[in-house]
Amino acid sequence: MAARYFSRESKPYVYLAISSTPLAHMFVFCLLIGAALAVPSNWCGNKASTSEHRETIQALRVAETAGISPLSQGVNSNSTINVPVYITAVVNTTNSEEMLSETVLKSQFDVLSDRFAPYNITFMLKSTNRMVDDNNSKGFDYNGWNSFKAAQRKGDYGTLNLFYVTNMDDQTWGSGSCTLPGDTSGGPLVTMLDGCTMNAYTVPGGVSGGKTYKGEITVHEVGHWFSLLHTFDGDNCTGPGDYIDDTPQEATWELNVCPVGRDSCPDQPGLDPITNYMDYAGEG
């Protein structure tokens, strides 16, 4: 499916209706997650997008509908977007050396690269860094996390920084979160805090609540980094949803279940997009 881009302050806004695996595979996945003992109360910890962000993506939508290209800075639908990536892992002193090892982090990077490759987005792994720090392994549960994150972050605003932590409370923060694109003209703080923070169990082979993860939580969160909203954004059948015209309307979401054939907006075209990475149905 074609990608749509708008570049501002060095980071491209990317609109992708990226779907995960076929429904047959999703059905097998449903059987697997049925045995889960506990899941985060909220799969994704992202905050609501700002009015500025919504105005920008609405302007893109209107321009595209009118046949006016909003593309800038030489980016077009056939361009390849090259994104440098730095990965930082922070573990607790009680964790084994295998926890978030370089091999695991590279496996996570491979999953991310594979899922975005069909949309002309290429990730370039610059480095991985594994640190032992009992405080910062708590992520957002530690009041010094933002300062730590700003100090560790590398590259400009178009550089993706991924942080994985072992002891962040997913009942409060979800499995992970990522910053949406914003206007950096307000100062360096926007860039300093830019990036994604995920719980360690979300990497390929990670286990939590009886469920083994495949690394696709990061795909979901990086979708936010590229400006994508949830498929059910607005939780209704009449609003703009995720602002992508070919995403079926979705009024409700279910966490880590596989509701094949669900149609929460029966008066609108299409079934709920449960195989879209920006839904909450789970990894496919």
Among candidates 129, 125, 95, which has minimal Cα distance to 112?
Answer: 125
- Cα distance between residue 253 and residue 281, in whole Å: 7
Among candidates 196, 230, 201, which has minimal Cα distance to 85?
Answer: 196
Query: Quick check: 272 and 280 in contact, CB under 8 A?
Result: no
Query: Quick check: 139 and 165 in contact, CB under 8 A?
Result: yes
Of residues 216, 221, 250, 283, which has the active-site annotation? Answer: 221
Query: Quick check: 52 and 183 in contact, CB under 8 A?
Result: yes
221 catalytically annotated? yes
- 92-99 contacts at long range (C-beta below 8 A, 24 or more positions apart): 92/132, 92/134, 92/137, 92/166, 92/167, 93/132, 93/134, 95/132, 95/137, 95/166, 99/166, 99/200
- Cα distance between residue 180 and residue 224, in whole Å: 6
Kindly give the residue spans of alpha helices, DSSP state H, lying in the chain. 23-33, 51-65, 102-116, 145-152, 170-173, 189-192, 216-225
Among candidates 1, 2, 17, which has minimal Cα distance to 227?
Answer: 17
Diameter of the chain by CA atoms?
A: 57
Beta bridge partners of 132: 91
- Cα distance between residue 69 and residue 128, in whole Å: 38
- Indicate which residues carry an active-site annotation: 221
